[in-house]
A and B are shown apart, each in its own frame.
Chain A
């Protein structure tokens, strides 16, 4: 392409002559482009642009291949923020040291499975301070973003960048949500060498897994308390992050580093009015199933039924009736009376109340003047409430599902569950919220369930599943 006498200013720098024949490796919106007609492992010819294209996650492999083949190349991929000095004050417990060590020996890739509150964060912080490289920490919620930022400031002594929740600054250590990391993969993909995936089971979803594919970072660490997913998609994670390198069960740690907890279940009767509504709506639902000969045994059956509601108006009516029945049971007024008694009995202890529906959160908040935290709570207020709960100024919080994952709410000694969805992961993590070691104080979890309703079955399913999980 070069014509006689013409000087093309394509390559700046000292090796101008050689570079004309050199392979150029460039980051192109979540992928790598190889200029120069050389195929590489994982590379695929892209006829649209006339270049070989590689997924960004194979960055290290491509470099290694080019290096071994002694092909001259120019790497224009990384666009890293400047390094800052870290001052680590992280002190690891023995099992954390072991976890970190296993991860390092696996080539600084892999997943560490530890129960909630076992200090996964510290393993990651120590890894960051040892690697001293540009790091992106990806978390599921804005609460967790705040929490990580605080942890990094406290233990590594540097400011963090943040992408998500209205913020958009990239620094040596940057915290982001899965959503933002996904949406901005095209521009963030070449800015970090190390990624920490907090609550890594989220990464296995069809869209989020593209984060792993579109970022170049060769070093990767996944953290979770619940590696396995109901949909089996966790089998995809080793390819994206690395294998599980270290696993510790709740039971192994309980008593030593975590408080043991007592579990109690209280059944309440629906009020006569609630029982009447419940029976009526349940009948509508059952009759429909019976008429159509539908059996709902598995989650898959249920999905098929939900799909049918999009086509069949009567199916939708049946579904709405079922939801009303469930809601009546979950939000029963009788539960509120029981809750009042429990609150009275646990005065001056730190209490967390969980419900499934926001309606009930606000009913409880209004009735007992307890601070509420839902996805609708303004961010500032949420921060303030959590902070004051942490410091002990507030003694109780009522919340729906936003605190489910990883959010650090230390020192709670009592938990009340007023409704639940029956999912294993949620259950374990909710427990985790309560398992804090407070001077010999035994934590307690109380579940309030309506008698003779579907809800009893959900609750039993939860327990059963958990038992099975902890055995296997």
Chain B
């Protein structure tokens, strides 16, 4: 953030843009010159350094740009008062001496006073002169400076420029790809008011309590403070209304990630941070299941009446989306309010409530209920979650199965893999499996992962049998080779269907052997 007089913008037809510093070689050169100047001036007075800066201004660069960079570098500098005597103390002595000896109106009178105080403090006259106002801002000495790459300085400048412009904003709208919990926490902490709505993407409009009565820049500073949380995202768009003080005109301001991310900040891959170990452990355990459900941490907010709910997780599988919120410490009242809020929304929401964290006794509140509340102790049970998810998916599965069944399709390929087929027609593997196994097409054998033409299966069976009769033993790699040569994967299920089983000798498949099973062939 910069002093307002360094705000550098362009305005046209109701729109306003900061004059961003492009990462051009010329601008990088200025940044580099300044950074080097600061490094070089360590040990020198601030006014010497600032003289260099103002000379750079005279060289044809815009003063707002040069001074803006300088302001940012000042923040990386440590300016100190570098004299032995305390200037305040020294001045007090001089003033007191003056009261005794009278105001000096000639150089001689002045020298007499200086000398008398100098001898009292055991200093030379020069040291006195140097120290007299050594605590003034311009007289401070640059003690330390933390340099940074010129690129970063320019990006930092552009971000500061944007924030400085937002100081004069009356409202801000944005959409972003994530980071919601941090963003909404910040909105709340800054005392702002938001409205969420959909306009293609999920948008949030922010202003403050008094904005209801009139356009006010009062919340501009808070809106500027919110900006870093929004743009710390791979994708975002920010729009704001700027009340231009000089003309009292409302101007539109807009920045977008695809265009402005590269000049506003360095793109870091966002690290997912978990704010509680419960959630972290749940995420890890759920991922380990390798289920068909895609788990997402901190998905986009869900509008609920005038508010939004930021769920902890979402589970996604085809058209089915389920949200879950994990509730830590709670009271019955809190839970009730939460439920009221959730009733207003039109999505599947699962609430996981830790029974041991109840702050008061509960008389089985809402334990049945139309809302899905899952009470747990310490660990969220995966089985219950999966069961719940499967239940929700059941109607979809059934609908799709009947869709597949009624599909006017004639299979020609020798092998039909359920997964591939499902992907091709855009339904779940589950529903394809259900539909095809219940009512298998003529001439096909039903295997757990695929349909195989009976002819094909018989052919494979024959080759295998020949092999066994020739060598009297059949290693697994050999069998796999034969089966895959026929264009069929999924060796174990083929073998099983043909009445073989695999004898493992250790975990190495090279050493495993295929033998005749006692059980009957499944076909």
Contacts and interface: CB of A to CB of B under 8 A. Distances in A.
A360 B244 CA distance: 35
A70 B219 CA distance: 37
A29 B212 contact: no
Interface stretch (A49-57, A134-142, A405-413): A49-57
Indicate the member of B94, B103, B104, B132 with the most A CB atoms within 10 Å.
Answer: B103
Given A50-B306, A369-B110, A343 B210 contact: no
A344 interface: yes
Given A30-B209, A395-B103, A207 B218 contact: yes
Contacts of A47: 306
Indicate the member of B91, B99, B105, B136 with the most A CB atoms within 10 Å.
Answer: B105
25 contacts: A1-B340, A6-B336, A29-B208, A30-B210, A31-B209, A31-B212, A48-B195, A53-B209, A53-B212, A55-B210, A186-B191, A210-B218, A213-B213, A347-B103, A367-B110, A368-B103, A368-B104, A369-B98, A370-B98, A370-B103, A376-B137, A378-B88, A378-B135, A385-B95, A388-B95
Chain A facing B: main interface SS: mixed
A44 B210 contact: no
Nearest to B106: A340
Given A53-B209, A53-B212, A210-B218, A395 B133 contact: no
A369 B137 contact: no
Contact of A343 (B103, B218, B340): B103
B397 interface: no
A6 B366 CA distance: 12
Interface of A: 1, 6, 8-9, 28-31, 44, 46-50, 53, 55, 186, 207, 210, 213-214, 307, 310, 313, 316, 340-341, 343-344, 347, 362, 365-371, 376, 378, 380-381, 384-385, 388, 393-396
B333 interface: yes
B99 A395 contact: yes
Contacts of B241: none
A9 B333 contact: yes
Contact of B94 (A307, A369, A376, A395): A369
Contacts, number: 94
A54 B45 CA distance: 53
B212 A210 contact: no
B136 A362 contact: yes
Nearest to B195: A48
Nearest to A45: B212
B113 interface: yes
A55 B213 contact: yes
Indicate the member of A48, A186, A394, A396 with the most B CB atoms within 10 Å.
Answer: A48
A369 B103 contact: yes
B105 A46 contact: no
Contacts of A366: 129, 132-133
Contacts of A396: 103
Given A368-B103, A378-B88, A207 B217 contact: yes
B102 interface: yes
Contacts of A313: 60
B246 interface: yes
A395 B104 CA distance: 12
A-B CB proximity, top 5 nearest: A31-B209, A340-B105, A344-B105, A369-B98, A29-B209
Interface string B178-221: 00000000000001011100000000000011101100111000
